[in-house]
Chain A
Amino acid sequence: MKIRIRFRKFSIMKYIGHLDILRYFQKCMRRAGIDISYSGGFSPHQIMSFAAPLGVGLTSDGEYLDIAVESSEASKVSVDKLNAVMVPGMEILSYRKLDDSEKNAMSVVACADYNVFLKDEYEKKCNTALDIDSLREKKKAFYDDAKEILVTKQTKKSEKVMDLKALVYEFEINENDGRIVYYIKLSTGSVDNVKPELFLKAFYDFMNIEFDENAYQIHRLDLYCMKDDRLISLSETGEEIE
């Protein structure tokens, strides 16, 4: 049976890297008594895969992992059992059964959305001279009215020119508690992967303002896949086990 689990990663857990989160969940499955399936061989490993690895320093409300289980209790019971063995900074949000024909999360992810904002310790020293209205004006010129936004992405082997206009689906500038929050929804996955910091840097370059990547907290909100030509949250895939 295939199961898709949604979880949050926040607070000081942002310093724990993806591979360690993988090891963390392997132990959580045993602690919670989830009847997870193992591969064969002399060193069997749990059948488990993650949707889109989150880098060190990022937080998220929409992380997903798929597991295979031999048997399962109700979704609610499993969520509670897993939450009972979490550390502060990790929270299980849902546990849903997938259809056997469903592809794994990693291969279906098409899009992710993020909030990006200045970290507390940078807020004072880094606040740009621009207020929200002028930022929105710049944004209109940079994004809304643009036909294409070409950037060169440096990879290990080559350079690649990408059109961000086609890959960034939404870009908004919001205000929350007097803090400017960029909302960015963009293409993610194995084909056209865009990182939010790459897009923001292009925006700052456009404004001729220096962009300090370390100053911004990037918070992933959710991951999406295509279903019937429509983007839906991965949390809407599968069904609750009653």
Chain B
Amino acid sequence: MEKLALSDDILLKVDKPARYIGNEFNMVVKDKEHVAIRFVMCFPDVYEIGMSHLGIQILYDMMNKRDDVYCERVYSPWTDLHAIMKEKDIPLFALESQDPIKDFDFLGITIQYEMCYTNILQVLDLSKIPLLAKDRKDHDTIVIGGGPCATNPEPIADFFDMFYIGEGETSYDELFELTKEWKNMGYSRDEFLMKAANIPGIYVPKFYHPTYDENGLITSFDHDEGVPATIKRQVVSDLSLAPYPSKPLVPFIKATQDRVVLEIQRGCIRGCRFCQAGMIYRPNREKDIEVLKKNAYEMLTNTGHEEISLSSLSSSDYTDLEELVNFLIDNFKDKGVNISLPSLRIDAFSLDVMSKVQDIKKSSVTFAPEAGSQRMRNVINKGLTEEVILKGAGLAFEGGWNKVKLYFMLGLPTETKDDMRAIAILANEIAKEYYDIVPKEKRQGKCQITISTSFFVPKPFTPFQWEKMYTPEHYLDCAKTVNDAVSEQLNRKSIKYNWHHADVTVLEGVFARGDRRLSKVLLKAYESGCLFDSWTETFDMDKWLKAFESEGLTMEEYTLRERSEDEILPWDFIDCGVTKAFLLRERKNAYAETVTPNCRQQCSGCGSARYNGGVCFENKN
């Protein structure tokens, strides 16, 4: 039997031992003695979530295509195993070789959401890697972070040796060549870090020094000699040529995303002003349809998955969507493969497709107007109008659907009570449409309109990056306003309303736009037991409040303050493609309630054209 890091006793005691044994189909096995670099990729959440992440699958495949690199994986041990590993002093290990993490050259951590920050500390702690980068010695593992949250790495800067800012496909080869040179030449960790800091997209926090005034505002952000002042976010210019896995890993236990994921494009043409992904993944880049057909065929054959899902921020904007969907249906539907189409705009085409691939009686149609009133939707630049929503819903009702899901945000800039109440009114109008369109004898009971609201969190590199947030009490008041308005509607019995907790939103808001002073709060929070903060059963606001208090900081100074436009923001040293001038223009347009045309209608000069790819160059030769 292959040697496992955990004993039989432990594996039979913990929940879902399959999380910790590896051995999945398509797992890469290499002789660790014959590789120059050992890399372990971490998603700091539980296995079922981490295994669902496309980015890791892409990087795992890309790195392992190199003969001199062996990339393995690690996820956060669930709380049951965490306790056992602490008690028995068992070091955290990688799934493939089952070797301790601290034997690796690199620990790469993908940082997808702010509420996983304490899990990062757990991984370092259980790996017995010094938590603070400054305490690491020459032969300690290099800890590198990446992913969307690395666009503001400052709150976690103290724990990382370096960050990779941008899309992973571009600069890793250069980093690996440098690493081999480092190992051969034997220069110090600092010399290596200094050289790495000059690779495009690599940010080494220890060479950059923010200073703060008495109010916690950044007064300067200096850097050591020999490193660039600005880090340029890395972007793949032609996605059709970028590596994509043909043999994704197939987990034994059901992962959140238990299907083939086909990335059809990156970025979005829409420019919703609240959406960080819509800004930082600019320009929108479509993948060639022939490449996608090949990817789909290979991945389904090599995994045996029973479902394929298209992945993108707005699938309906993909130019050849119709051809692609028909290809998938024609080639795979008869083989028992389900086709899942998230983020589709509801219209005649999408309803026709959905009626072919899913059971109308069980499924629902989804709209994400994000705001209830047209005024508010103009502020956030969400181009969806009430007319379009009602028409789409009407078509769906005629087609036999009677369930509609609606997604909104509360706490948006300039929001009034009328905007909140408009959410309930819109839901009522949709229900009215159902009762007007579908004759009594054809109805399958009432229609079911489900409203879900989340609270808006301003993110870096968006036109709303300067906006203030609110107190948890205010957020719950917003939800109450919507709830009261729902109960006043004629069709209230057809409407269900769900809202989120406000505490996590506030904490997410703190870290999204936080600065380096927060590292010590995080450390305190982890030491006091905070872990798996994105899970309601483990989130503990009191511990967080105490951690802030003990470090002399407050959440409010990060959330309740509107930033001034000339303030140095913690992430200003990163060049994300979109310029500050564009973001400021968009902010003014928001306040003027002016809609900005999408990238295909008209270029707004956001700055990302310099990446030389995608929508900026469509139809231009």
Report which A residues bind B (CB closer than 8 A): 11-13, 15-17, 20, 23-24, 26-31, 38, 42-46, 56-57, 85, 87-89, 119, 121, 214
Contacts and interface: CB of A to CB of B under 8 A. Distances in A.
Contact of A15 (B11, B24, B335): B11
A45 B11 CA distance: 31
B584 interface: no
B23 A43 contact: no
A12 B4 contact: yes
Given A16-B252, A85-B25, A214-B12, A30 B335 contact: yes
Nearest to B26: A87
A20 B18 contact: yes
Given A13-B23, A15-B11, A15-B21, A27 B4 contact: no
A23 B18 CA distance: 14
A87 B28 CA distance: 12
Contact of A88 (B23, B300, B302, B358): B23
A87 B25 contact: yes
Interface in B221-270: 250, 252-254
B336 A44 contact: yes
Contacts of A23: 252, 254
A56 B12 contact: yes
A38 B7 CA distance: 40
Interface string B1-44: 11010011101100001100101110100000000000000000
A54 to B, nearest CB: 14
Q: Which of B1, B24, B362 has the most CB of A within 10 A?
A: B1
A12 B252 contact: no
Q: Which of A15, A28, A29, A121 has the most CB of B within 10 A?
A: A15
B358 A42 contact: yes
Nearest to A89: B23
Contact of B9 (A24, A31, A214): A214
A15 B4 CA distance: 12
Q: Please provide the 4 A-B residue pairs with the shortest distance between their CB atoms, ordered closest to farther.
A: A27-B304, A30-B304, A42-B359, A31-B304
B17 A121 contact: no
B25 A27 contact: yes
A26 B304 contact: yes
Contacts of B17: 15, 56
Contacts of A38: 336
Contacts of B250: 27
B305 interface: yes
B598 interface: no
Nearest to B7: A121
6 contacts: A15-B12, A26-B304, A27-B304, A31-B25, A31-B303, A88-B2
A20 B18 CA distance: 10
A182 to B, nearest CB: 19
A23 B7 CA distance: 26
A11 B2 contact: yes
